[in-house]
C-alpha cells in the first residue's frame, strides 16, 4: 500500500467516523475528534506502508496538509 494524501484522509475519516469529503486538508484534526491514541494507530499503519515519520513529527501540526508537507519533505531528503 502506498500512502497518499487521499488515503491518509480516508484513514483519518474512518478512525473518527466521518466521511472523507467532510475533512478539509487544513482542518485541525484534533477539533474533529482525532486524539493521540488514534493518531498513534494511524502512524503505525502508515509506517508499515513506508512513511518515515514519528509521532513527534505528526504532532507538530494536526492537519492533513501539514502531515503531507512533512512526508514530502522527508521523501525529498532520501
- Take residue 35 and report the three cell numbers written for it: 486524539
Q: How many domains is the chain partitioned into structurally? A: 1
Predicted TM-score (pTM) of the model is 0.92
What Rg value do the Cα atoms of the chain yield, rounded?
11
CA distance 33 to 14: 12
Alpha-helical segments (H) within 19-63: 36-48, 55-59
Q: What is the pLDDT of residue 75?
A: 84
Tens of pLDDT, residues 19-71: 999 999 999 999 999 999 999 999 999 999 989 888 988 888 999 999 999 99
Instruction: Pick 57 or 8 by higher pLDDT.
Output: 8
Q: 25: domain range?
A: 5-76
The CATH number linked to 34 is: 1.10.1200.10
Q: What is the pLDDT of residue 3?
A: 93
Q: Could you tell me if 11 and 34 are in contact, meaning their C-beta atoms sit under 8 angstroms apart?
A: no
Cβ atoms of 6 and 64 within 8 Å: the answer is no
Amino acid at each position: 500500500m502506498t500512502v497518499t494524501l487521499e488515503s491518509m484522509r480516508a484513514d483519518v475519516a474512518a478512525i473518527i467516523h466521518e466521511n472523507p469529503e467532510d475533512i478539509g486538508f487544513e482542518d485541525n484534526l484534533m477539533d474533529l475528534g482525532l486524539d493521540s491514541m488514534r493518531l498513534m494507530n494511524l502512524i503505525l499503519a502508515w509506517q508499515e506502508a513506508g512513511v518515515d515519520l514519528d509521532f513527534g513529527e505528526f504532532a507538530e501540526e494536526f492537519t492533513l496538509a501539514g502531515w503531507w508537507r512533512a512526508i514530502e519533505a522527508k521523501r525529498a531528503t532520501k
